Structure 1
Amino acid sequence: MKKYIILALLLLSATLVARAQSFELTGQITGQNTGYVHLSYQDNNSKWVNDSCALKNGGFSFKGNINGPQIVYFYGAIKSRNVEDPNSTDFFIEPGNMTLQVAAGDFKNVVITGSKTQGENAELQKLKAPIYEEMKPLSQAFRDANIKYVQAVKNKESDKVTTDLKEKASAIHDQFDPYWSRIAQVDYHFFDAHPNSYVTVYELQRYVGTLSADSLKMYYGRMSPVIQQSVYGKELSVQIAKLLAGSPGSIAANFTTTDVNGKPLDLSAFKGKYVMLDFWASWCVPCRHSSPHMIQLFNKYHAKGYEVIGIAEDDDQPDAWRKAIATDGVGIWNNVLSGFDRDKAIKGEKNEKFIADKFGIHSLPTKILIDRNGTIVGRYDKGTPEEEAQMDKKLAESLN
């Protein structure tokens, strides 16, 4: 009899869960009576849905099935897909009934009721808003600098002109660091106060490239099983595993590819030597700036059994990659492309040839040192002088 009771409870639970996964979002736009609004979200089969609804006297309604709380993209009469378009925004929906109030041309100040998760998200965004407001002049300067650089490339200006413009844009970009640090502190306080929030697990994915694997594991370990098994929780777990696979103590994943000269390259063939995997790109200014020092290290330790494999994320622009190799003089070591496939990435398909994915690479430049036995003994992805000194010290201890 107890078995039947348990079974009945399980069936009831399953039914409740199934019903709980449906959502309905009804809303009203002031200042616009006709036209369309659009909602992009992932359904309960994790497939992207791009839904549209015709406005009737400014009103609309969306219905669907989802696996749980998630961030969605909502937009109306946009002029571009730029996130700053005044007729677009994002927010959290969740199973159940929700209402939305928004004004045409002011989607950023949307008001959602019925979504506890969005309430938490609004709380966090309100704390960060003053910092983003301070960043606006710098953001505009960076945007203008990038436009000038892109225009110069289109106009086929000289290498000196395009390089100078890229350097200027990069220098402006570096000025964001203090702001990002302040924003990170706000986020970390929120994570500590809301360990079981879907907002926390969603926002943590932004920090996979900056937080250590231990810190990410700590935050993940504080989450309830429900959050850990959510779509965002599972993805965070995958990213942590990849980061650990590319961190000290792990055996380096093997990869085979073709180098810049068309010759096959197999990482396992380098066993018995110290190998630095240098993840970079021709368009990455800090990467290019690190080349002279990397050349010095290569010349100093190569005869002692030290190799470098440059792994460039230039799969879409191989000519720029080859030109950068020649310009920077890094053809003295092995150079390969990362294996990134844009089509597979867009479709969410697995790409076994993507080398950066095997090592949890989320920022450039990143350098990974592998010892003679194939074990990772160093990961350098912060780009600071202190980290460079640590890398130099490790090489000196290992090869002198």
Structure 2
Amino acid sequence: MKPMKSLFLLLLPFGAAAQGPEVTLKGSLAHTPAVQWVYLSYRIGDEAVKDSVAVENGSWKYKHALSEPVLATVTFKSDTSLFQRGGRGIKSYSLPVFLQPGTIELRTRDSIQGTRVSGSAAHKDFEALENESKAWNSRLEPLYAAYSKAAAARDAAGASAAERQIDSIDALMRESVYGGFLQKRAASPVALYALKQYAGYSIDAEKIEPLFNRLSKATQASASGVAYREQIEIAKKLSIGRVAMDFTMNDTLDHPVALSSLKGRYVLVDFWASWCGPCRRENPNVVKAFNAYKDKNFTVFGVSLDRPGQKDRWLKAIHDDGLTWTHVSDLKFWDNAAAKQYGIRAIPANLLLDPEGKIIARNLSGEDLTKKLAEVIR
């Protein structure tokens, strides 16, 4: 084995491979000799790891400390084509594998796409969830295609209509597939994964915390469990009726601006970025709401997750989209201090605050923002 490891964050649990439980992942590629390397990537809590192992004589083996069950991506790579897709030769193939301590085997027989996983009870549960999701995904695929087509054509109404249908079906799927699984299999090693899928990016703490508390004690105490509990605690602070957490960040002229300085007005705290397509497509709706209510005690506080060294792109997007309100950013991408403070893991995301700084709505999009403002501003 010739590992090549890239640690995105300090991985203390992996400091000594011989300590604690281990996972052994092995496979045979006798019928696909073109594969030269197998790459693995996974996360433990907030820590991410990438590793690789060379294929020798048609076989490969990966052994490492593993403190908890975790969903990994296994990627087979070759300098030549592994299979054809759409008339093109494909040189890599990835599949999800739910790892857990013990020995797991990946068997590749007729083709790399037919690789089968055995030896992991966690993966068996994961496959059951994936299979149950397939029927729902088949309903979502044409809607995603419709959304992409409308977005490419700058058809805001068409994109919004497709997005509403996607959100509706996705909510039904999460309730049926992941909610159903959690009711029956809270002790499963993949229950935390199911809970994350059920909760989505915007955690409803009142709904999710009781489900988290039903997970096994081992899962709750794991690094991933502890990290997710922290996300739930952040979500509690963002509940409707809570006063929004204050923060200060520099505006486009590098002057510090505090969120609390806007108290006395209705404020939409809008997390976005110039590189975020969905954010840019949502901006016309925010502009419409701003123009309709800016003289009625309403404003927007834009928080950008633009990348380091790309202030010019941030400013250009503000100008191009006609965003004539206060904007701040620390230009730290996903390490944006306010985004981390607010547990933002996907954008666009927003919170609507009343004049006292209390949260009265979250993640309003399309016409919903204008409707909410019409409801609260008399």
Which category of TM-score, normalised to the shorter sequence, fits these structures?
A: 0.7 to 0.9
The CA distance in 2 between the partners of 1:172 and 1:372, in whole Å, is: 34
For residues 222-272 of structure 1, what are the alpha-carbon distances to aligned partners after superposition, in whole Å with 9 as ceiling and x for unaligned? 112211112321222122122222333433222222212333212233345
For residues 1-51 of structure 1, what are the alpha-carbon distances to aligned partners after superposition, in whole Å with 9 as ceiling and x for unaligned? xxxxxxxxxxxxxxxxx8761121222235213633233345899561412
The CA distance in 2 between the partners of 1:292 and 1:43, in whole Å, is: 42
**Kept after mapping to 1: 8 A contact 2:238/2:359:** no
Counterpart for residue 101 of structure 2: 95
3-state SS, counterpart of residue 365 of structure 2: coil
3-state SS, counterpart of residue 293 of structure 2: helix
Alignment-mate amino acid for residue 41 of structure 2: S
Does the C-alpha gap of structure 1 residues 99 and 44 become closer, same or farther in structure 2, counting only changes over 3 Å? farther
Counterpart for residue 289 of structure 1: 285
Displacement of 1:71 in angstroms is: 1.0
Counterpart for residue 123 of structure 1: 128
2:49 corresponds to 1:48: yes
**Kept after mapping to 1: 8 A contact 2:106/2:117:** yes
Gaps of 5+ in 2: 1-17
How many correspondences in the alignment? 344
Does the C-alpha gap of structure 1 residues 264 and 25 become closer, same or farther in structure 2, counting only changes over 3 Å? closer
Equivalent of 1:377 in 356, 359, 366: 359
3-state SS, counterpart of residue 178 of structure 2: helix
Query: What's the % identity of the aligned pairs?
Result: 24
2:272 corresponds to 1:280: yes
Return the TM-score normalized by structure 1. 0.72
Counterpart for residue 194 of structure 1: 185
The CA distance in 2 between the partners of 1:169 and 1:272, in whole Å, is: 34
The CA distance in 1 between the partners of 2:319 and 2:42, in whole Å, is: 45
The CA distance in 2 between the partners of 1:193 and 1:119, in whole Å, is: 15
The CA distance in 2 between the partners of 1:38 and 1:377, in whole Å, is: 44
Does the C-alpha gap of structure 1 residues 385 and 103 become closer, same or farther in structure 2, counting only changes over 3 Å? farther
Displacement of 1:311 in angstroms is: 1.9
Alignment-mate amino acid for residue 90 of structure 1: P
For residues 124-147 of structure 1, what are the alpha-carbon distances to aligned partners after superposition, in whole Å with 9 as ceiling and x for unaligned? 11111233344445556667788x
Counterpart for residue 312 of structure 1: 304
The CA distance in 1 between the partners of 2:268 and 2:255, in whole Å, is: 19
Counterpart for residue 39 of structure 2: 38
3-state SS, counterpart of residue 164 of structure 1: coil
2:318 corresponds to 1:325: yes
* Paired residues for 1:56-71 under 5 Å: 56=57, 58-71=58-71
The CA distance in 1 between the partners of 2:110 and 2:368, in whole Å, is: 49
For residues 322-356 of structure 1, what are the alpha-carbon distances to aligned partners after superposition, in whole Å with 9 as ceiling and x for unaligned? 3443344432x31223x3524xx5xxxxx4x5212
Equivalent of 1:176 in 166, 169, 176: 166
The CA distance in 2 between the partners of 1:87 and 1:164, in whole Å, is: 33
The CA distance in 2 between the partners of 1:327 and 1:202, in whole Å, is: 40
2:363 corresponds to 1:366: no
More strand per residue? 2
Does the C-alpha gap of structure 1 residues 52 and 44 become closer, same or farther in structure 2, counting only changes over 3 Å? farther
**Kept after mapping to 2: 8 A contact 1:195/1:223:** yes
The CA distance in 2 between the partners of 1:143 and 1:191, in whole Å, is: 32
For residues 35-72 of structure 1, what are the alpha-carbon distances to aligned partners after superposition, in whole Å with 9 as ceiling and x for unaligned? 3323334589956141213132x322211111111111
The CA distance in 2 between the partners of 1:43 and 1:244, in whole Å, is: 23
The CA distance in 2 between the partners of 1:91 and 1:286, in whole Å, is: 35
**Kept after mapping to 1: 8 A contact 2:272/2:347:** yes
3-state SS, counterpart of residue 198 of structure 1: coil
The CA distance in 1 between the partners of 2:78 and 2:159, in whole Å, is: 27
More helix per residue? 1
3-state SS, counterpart of residue 306 of structure 2: coil
Highest Rg: 1 or 2?
1
The CA distance in 2 between the partners of 1:213 and 1:78, in whole Å, is: 44
